[in-house]
Amino acid sequence: MTEIRSVLVANRGEIARRIMRTCREHAIATVAVFSDADADAPFVREADRAVRLPGNASADTYLRGDLIIAAALRSGAQAIHPGYGFLSENAAFAQQVVNAGLVWIGPPASAIAAMGSKIHAKQLMRSHGVPVAPDNTVESLADIGLPSLVKASAGGGGRGMRIVRSADELADAIASAEREALSAFGDATVFVERYLEGARHVEIQVLADSHGNVIALHERDCTLQRRHQKVLEEAPSPAVDGDLRVRMEAAAVAAACAVGYEGAGTVEFLLDCDGGFWFLEMNTRLQVEHPVTEAVTGVDLVALQLSIAQGHAIPGPLLVEVPLRGHAIEVRLCAEDPFRGYLPSSGIFHKFEFPEVPGVRVDSAIESGDVVPQYYDSMIAKVIAHGATRSEAVRRLVAALDGATLHGPTTNRSLLLQLLCELGEVDGPAGPGVDTGWLDRQQLGDGPSPGSTIVAAAALALVRARAVEGGFPIGWRNNPSQPHSQALSLHGAVHTVHYRFDRRGELDVLVVDGESIELDVFTRDAIDRVAIAIIDDTVYAAGGRFAFDVPARFLSPDDAGRAGSTVAPMPGRVVQLLVAVGDTVVAGQGLLTIEAMKMEHLVVSPHAGSVTEIFVQTGQQLDGGQPLLRVDPS
Amino acid sequence: MSVLPDRVDPAGDAYQANRAALLAQLAAHDEQLTIVNLGGGEKYVERHRMRGKLLARERIEALLDQDSPFLEFSPLAAYGSQFPVGAGAVGGIGLVEGVECLITANDPTQRGGASNPYTLRKGLRAAEIARENRLPVISLTESGGADLPTQSEIFIPGGQSFRNITNASAAGIPQVSIVFGNSTAGGAYVPGMSDYVVMIKERSKVFLGGPPLVKMATGEDSDDESLGGAEMHARISGLADYFAVDELDAIRLGRQVIKRINHRKRGPGPRGSGRAPKYDQEHLLGIPSADPKTPFDPRDVIARVVDDSDFDEFKPLYGASLVTGFAELHGYPVGILANHHGVLFSEESEKAAQFIQLANQIDTPLVFLQNTTGYMVGKEFEQRGIIKDGSKMINAVSNSKVPHLTINMAASYGAGNYGMCGRAFGPRFLFAWPNAKSAVMGPAQLAGVMSIVSRQSAESMGRPFDEEADAAMRTMIEDQIERESLAMFMSGKVYDDGIIDPRDTRTVLGICLSVLDNQPIEGTRGYGVFRM
C-alpha cells in the first residue's frame, strides 16, 4: 500500500479542477501542469504547485509524457492522475509513470493497451462473450455494408470518426479521419464497422480494485450526441429497465474482468431498438459525464480512484449494493455556436456565473474573468442537476442554465435549453425516443432571436451609458426633427432602434426594427428588467444569451472595400487553400480549411463569383474576423 | 445657500389658465417647426432622397456626437415674410468629437438651397455667434447661390459672409466646409475661404462658372466634373483637402478634422455641482401670466432654472421691482437680473447699474430675465431723474464686458428692452418664450397715443375730430402692433435666436454658458461716465 500525499494532475480545465477538489477534501496536495495559454487558468491557480509546459499545442504540452513525469518527480508528487483525454488512455505513458516509481491513478497499462486499440478490444470482447458489432477486422467492407462508421482505433470522444453512407465517400472519410486521429491521438490507425442506426448510447460505469472486486455503478445514457460528441448525459437511462440493467452490468463487469481492470472505467454499448446491446468500447479512465453517476449513487468516483490506487478495496457497502437514487442529467456547456455550424469561439468570459439552484452542480473550467484558449476542447463547463424525478432534474437544470450570466464567447446554452425543453416530450414515455443520430438530424435554424424588448434594452443601455451625469437631457433638441438611432448587430444581422427621450430623460419614442413600440408600464418594466452589460464594443443582454456587436458609426472606405471579403469565422490556422486567385466558384464551394479547437472547418464561398484576392497562406495563424480572401460576386 | 421656496400651486386656477394659454402658444410654435422640418415639402424631399441624399437636419444629426444636445437657432427665421419659414438653412450649436461647433447647413429641398435676405441674416448671425464664442464652424454646403429676384438685398451685404470666414480663420477659429452638392459662383468661395474642405465623389460641384457660362464666355465645351467635381478638386486644383466616397464618409471626415484641431476652451469652466433645481421645471408652464398685465414673481422661475434652486439675492429690499442676485447654472456662476412688477423706477435702475458693475468686477456672466413694460413715466419720476437713472442702467449694460444671456419671459417694451439687454445690446444669446412680446410700447398705449396726438392736431387746426375713423384706426394700429410684437414675428425677423419652451430654459442657458466658456470671461474695469 502506498499512501498518496501529493498528486500531479496531467490535465487541464474542469477535470483538473474537479480532481483537485477531491484531493483537497482528502488533504492530498496537488500539482498542476499547464501550457502557456493556460498559465492564468483556475486549475493552475487552485493547485498547490504548478509546472509550466512550454508551448500551446497539445503535442507540445499536455501530451508530453516525459515532461509531465519529470514535473511529478521534481515537485514531489507520488501519483499522476491523467483525467480524461490527452494521455489518459496512453498505455505507454501509464507504464512510464509506473517505471518512474510513481503511482498511476488508472488501470494497469496492460488493460489500457488491451482496450486502447479498439480493434483488439473488440476481438477480446468477442472472445469473452460480450456482444460486439461486425467490423472490417472480421468481415469485408462489403459485408459490413452501409452505412458504416470510420473510427480511430486509438480514438475517443468522437474525434476521428466519420459516418459513410455511400461507397465513394469512404476513401475521403478514412483520409480525413486518419489526419484528425493523428493530430488528436498521435496514431492514425482507423477501422470501419457497421453503423447501427437508431441505436442509443448506454454505458456502464465500472469500478475494480486490486483485491479482485469488480462492481457496476449502473448506466448512463448519452444518446444525445452531435457527431459522436456527447451533449447531454443522464442516469438512469429512460430506455433501461431493471432486467436490462442487470444484463448490461453483467456484460460490463465481464469486459472489465477480461482485461484485468483496476480503477474506474466505462464500458460503452449501443442499445438497439430491439433491446439488444453491443459493445462499443471501454474507456479506461474517468469519463466526462461521471458526475451523473455520482449524483444518483452518492459516491465520489475520484475519491474511489485515489483509494483504489493506494491499494484499498472498494468499500463494503458498495460491494453489497450500489444505490440508485433519483435522476441526474448533465449537459456540456461549450464555447461554440450550434446555430452557426458549431463554430468554436474563444476569448475572455467577463462574467461566468450560475445561480444557486438546489441539486445543481457546476464543474467549470473557468471563472469570471478567465479566458477560453483557442487550442483545446471547446467544453467550458458541465452543469449537472439531480432531482427526485427526471422532470425535476430537467427543471433544475433549466433554471441553472437560464439564470446563468455568461458574458463572453458564444456558447451552446440556447441549444442545451432547447434540448432540455424538448427532452420530456421527444424522449418521454409517449415520445418517439432518440438515437445517437437524432441531434444531427435536427434542423437547428438560426437559434433564438432577440425580441424587440431585448434589442431595445441593449440599445438603450448604450444610450444611457453615453449620458453624462447631471448633463443635458439625452439627445436634447429645441427643434426635434427626427428620432435618434442606435444600431446593433447580432451574427451579422443589423438591428436598428430609433428612440427619443423627453426633457426629463424619459423614453418618449421607441421604434425597434421599424416597429413602433407602445411605451406603457409593462413595456417599460420589461425593458428595464433585461440584464445588460456593456463590455468594450459588445452588449451582453439577458445574461449573455445575446451578445450584440456595436457597429462603428462610420465605415471607413477601407472597411467598406473589405466588406465583400470572407473572414475567418474563428481564430485558428489555415490548413489548406482550396482555390487560387482567378478561380470561379459557386455559392457554398469550399475555399479553404481552418483548424481550430482541434477540428477542421471548411470556409465556403458566400456567393458565386470569382476569387479576386487571397490575403492568407497555408499554415498561417488567424484571428477571428481576419479577412481571408475576396470573392467578387459574378 | 439660500434655497428659494416652492410657491407654485399647480392645482390653482391661475396656474391652470396660464398653462393652457402657454400650451396653445407652444402648439402654434410647434406647428411652424413642423413646416420648417418638412423643408421644401414632400415632393422636393422625396426627390432629394431619390438622389440618395440626406436632408439638411439628417446631415447635422449624423455629424453630431451621439445623443449630445443640439441648440438650433432661429428655426423660424423668415416667418411672416414672403419667404418660406426657416429661410432655407439650418444653424445651431452641437458637439462634434466633444467640441462645441457652430454648424450650418443649406436646405437644398427649399428652392435648391438658395439664399434669400433671411438666409443671409441667419448666416451672418451664425458667424457672429461663432466669432463671439470662438466656435469652430462646419458648413454643410449645398446651395444654388443667391435667390435671384431678391439679389439686390443679398449681393452687396452678402460679401460679409465670405469675409467672416477668413476673419474667423485669422482669429484662429477653424473653418470647415463639407460640400454636398452645388457650391458654385459666389458659393464657391465658401470652400475657397475655408481652412478644411471635404468634397464628395460625383456629388460636389464647385466652380465659378458652369458649362453654359463657360461656353458663353470662352466658347469652351466642358462638363461639371472637369470644371468642379470632387475628384478634380482633390487631385488637380487642390481645393478639396479630403475626398469622400459618399455623404456619410464626408461627415466622417468632417468629424475627423474636428478631432484634430486641438480645440481648447479658454473660459474658466464650470465651478459648482450643477445639481438640478429642486422643483419641477414642468411648472414653468403655469408661471407666466396668461394676461400680460398681471405680473409674476421671477423667483419662481429662477427656482426652476438655477442649480439646486439656490439663489443669493442682492439688495432684495431696494428697488423691489427688479430682482438681482447670484446663482450657479449647470455649475457656471451667473448674476441674474429679472423684472418683477414690470416697470423700472430710479431705484431699480441704480440697483441694476450697481449689480452689472459688480458682475464685471468678478467676471461673472449675466442673465437677463425680461418682463418689463419700460421705465416709469410721469411728472414725479421725470423730476426725480428717471432718464438719468435709466441711462445709468443702459450705460452699465452697454459697456459691460461679461457675456450676457437674455430671455424674454413675457414682455420687453420701450427702453426697458434696452436696459434689460435687448438684441441691440449684444447679448451672446437671446431667446424668447412663446408668450413674449416686444415693442416700443404696448399696442393699446401706442394706438391711444396716436389717437391723442391726432385729436390734439385736429383741435389745434380747428378741424372736427372723426371719432368713428379714430376708433377704426386705433383698432387697426392695435392689431398691427400686437401682431408685430409677438414672439414668432420677432423670431421671423431674427431679432432673437429662437423661441424656446419655458421648460427648456435651464437647458438652453446651460448650453449657452458652456458655449460662451470657449472664450475667456473678463469683465470691464472701466465705464462710460455715469450721469449723476
> Per residue in A555-585, pLDDT tens?
877 665 455 567 777 778 888 888 888 888 8
Residue from B33, B67, B73, B506 whose CB has the most chain A CBs within 10 Å, to mutate: B67
Cell output for B236: 488637380
Q: Which of B70, B245, B251 sits opposite A477 (nearest CB)?
A: B70
User: Cα–Cα distance between B416 and A388 in angstroms, integer?
Assistant: 87
CA-based nearest residue to B321, from B393, B404, B429: B393
Q: What is the pLDDT of residue A558?
A: 65
User: Cα–Cα distance between A267 and A263 in angstroms, integer?
Assistant: 13
Asked if A552 has any chain B CB less than 8 Å from its own CB, the reply is no
How far apart, in Å, are the Cα atoms of B255 and each of B60, B138, B229? 11, 10, 22
Cell output for B106: 443649406
User: Cα–Cα distance between B407 and B498 in angstroms, integer?
Assistant: 10
How far apart, in Å, are the Cα atoms of A530 and each of A399, A408, A455, A515? 17, 17, 10, 19
Measured from the Cβ of residue A328, the count of other Cβ atoms closer than 10 Å reads 28
Cell output for A289: 459525464
User: Cα–Cα distance between A634 and A610 in angstroms, integer?
Assistant: 7
DSSP, residue by residue, B393-440: HHHHHHH--S-EEEEEEEEEETTHHHHTT-GGG--SEEEE-TT-EEES
Q: What is the 3-state secondary structure (H, E, C) of B224-260?
A: HHHHHEHHHHHHHHCCCCEEECCHHHHHHHHHHHHHC
Mean pLDDT rounded to a whole number for chain B: 94
Q: What is the mean pLDDT of residues B364-384?
A: 95
ipTM summary value? 0.95
Check pLDDT > 70 for residue A355: yes
DSSP, residue by residue, B56-77: HHHHHHHHSPTT--EEE--TTT
Q: What is the pLDDT of residue A499?
A: 97
Considering only residues 304 to 323 of chain B, which have any Cβ-Cβ distance to chain A shorter than 8 Å?
Answer: none
User: What would the pLDDT profile of A56-91 be if each residue is shown by its tens digit?
Assistant: 999 999 999 999 999 999 999 999 999 999 999 999
| Cβ-contact B76, B37 below 8 angstroms | no
Asked if A460 has any chain B CB less than 8 Å from its own CB, the reply is no
Report chain B residues whose CB lies below 8 A from the CB of A486. 66
Q: What is the pLDDT of residue B507?
A: 97
What are the residues whose beta carbons fall under 8 Å from the beta carbon of A141, sequence distance 6 or more? A148, A170, A192
Asked if B153 has any chain A CB less than 8 Å from its own CB, the reply is no
Asked if A472 has any chain B CB less than 8 Å from its own CB, the reply is yes
What are the residues whose beta carbons fall under 8 Å from the beta carbon of A26, sequence distance 6 or more? A303, A306
User: What would the pLDDT profile of B219-274 be if each residue is shown by its tens digit?
Assistant: 899 999 999 999 999 999 999 999 999 999 999 999 999 999 999 999 999 998 89
User: What would the pLDDT profile of A131-190 be if each residue is shown by its tens digit?
Assistant: 998 887 777 777 787 888 888 887 766 677 888 888 888 888 888 888 888 887 778 888
User: Cα–Cα distance between B375 and B463 in angstroms, integer?
Assistant: 35
Which of the two residues, A184 and B359, has the higher pLDDT score? B359
Asked if B96 has any chain A CB less than 8 Å from its own CB, the reply is no
User: What would the pLDDT profile of A190-244 be if each residue is shown by its tens digit?
Assistant: 889 888 888 999 999 999 999 999 999 999 999 999 988 999 999 999 999 999 9
Q: Say what the pTM is.
A: 0.86
Report chain A residues whose CB lies below 8 A from the CB of B511. 472
Residue from A463, A466, A481, A496 whose CB has the most chain B CBs within 10 Å, to mutate: A481
Mean pLDDT rounded to a whole number for chain A: 91
Check pLDDT > 90 for residue A117: no
Report chain A residues whose CB lies below 8 A from the CB of B510. 472
User: What would the pLDDT profile of A282-322 be if each residue is shown by its tens digit?
Assistant: 999 999 999 999 999 999 999 999 999 999 999 999 999 99
Contact criterion met (CB < 8 Å) for B248 and A554 = yes
Q: What is the mean pLDDT of residues A361-371?
A: 97
CA-based nearest residue to B196, from B133, B122, B255, B142: B255
Check pLDDT > 90 for residue A612: no
| Cβ-contact A523, A453 below 8 angstroms | yes
Q: Count A/B contacts: CB-CB distance under 8 Å.
A: 72
Q: What is the mean pLDDT of residues A486-511?
A: 93
Report chain A residues whose CB lies below 8 A from the CB of B513. none
Contact criterion met (CB < 8 Å) for B75 and A555 = no
Looking at the complex, report in whole angstroms how far the Cα of residue B270 sits from the nearest Cα belonging to chain A: 12
Q: What is the pLDDT of residue A399?
A: 97
Contact criterion met (CB < 8 Å) for A478 and B37 = no
Asked if B380 has any chain A CB less than 8 Å from its own CB, the reply is no
Structure confidence at residue A610 as a pLDDT band (50, 70, 90): confident
Contact criterion met (CB < 8 Å) for A482 and B61 = yes
Q: Nearest 5°: phi and psi at A370?
A: -90, 160
Measured from the Cβ of residue B2, the count of other Cβ atoms closer than 10 Å reads 12
| Cβ-contact B424, B418 below 8 angstroms | yes
Asked if A474 has any chain B CB less than 8 Å from its own CB, the reply is yes
Check pLDDT > 90 for residue B216: no
Q: What is the pLDDT of residue A156?
A: 64
Contact criterion met (CB < 8 Å) for A477 and B72 = yes
Nearest CA in chain B to A472: B507
Nearest CA in chain B to A554: B252
Between CA B105 and CA B526, with CA B405 as vertex, the angle to 5 degrees is 120
Nearest CA in chain A to B248: A554
Q: What is the pLDDT of residue A409?
A: 94
Contact criterion met (CB < 8 Å) for A478 and B501 = yes
Report chain A residues whose CB lies below 8 A from the CB of B249. 554-557
Looking at the complex, report in whole angstroms how far the Cα of residue A32 sits from the nearest Cα belonging to chain B: 50
Q: What is the pLDDT of residue A157?
A: 60
Q: What is the pLDDT of residue A171?
A: 84
Contact criterion met (CB < 8 Å) for B511 and A477 = no
User: What would the pLDDT profile of B298-356 be if each residue is shown by its tens digit?
Assistant: 999 999 999 999 999 999 999 999 999 999 999 999 999 999 988 999 999 999 999 99
How far apart, in Å, are the Cα atoms of A140 and each of A131, A146, A172, A372, B340? 19, 12, 18, 44, 108
Contact criterion met (CB < 8 Å) for B276 and A474 = no
Q: What is the mean pLDDT of residues A345-362?
A: 96
Check pLDDT > 90 for residue A273: no
Report chain A residues whose CB lies below 8 A from the CB of B57. 481-482
Q: What is the pLDDT of residue A9?
A: 98
User: What would the pLDDT profile of A467-480 be if each residue is shown by its tens digit?
Assistant: 888 889 999 999 99
Q: What is the pLDDT of residue B525?
A: 85
Report chain A residues whose CB lies below 8 A from the CB of B508. 478
User: What would the pLDDT profile of B447-469 be if each residue is shown by its tens digit?
Assistant: 888 889 888 988 898 888 888 99
Contact criterion met (CB < 8 Å) for B67 and A470 = no
User: Cα–Cα distance between B270 and A366 in angstroms, integer?
Assistant: 47
CA-based nearest residue to B190, from B113, B129, B272: B113
Beta-ladder partners of A566 = A629
Residue recorded with cell 441667419: B122
Q: How far is CA A258 from the centre of its chain?
A: 32
Contact criterion met (CB < 8 Å) for A475 and B498 = no
User: Cα–Cα distance between A28 and A19 in angstroms, integer?
Assistant: 11
Contact criterion met (CB < 8 Å) for A470 and B255 = no
Report chain B residues whose CB lies below 8 A from the CB of A553. 66
Q: What is the pLDDT of residue B526?
A: 81
CA-based nearest residue to B8, from B341, B287, B282, B295: B287
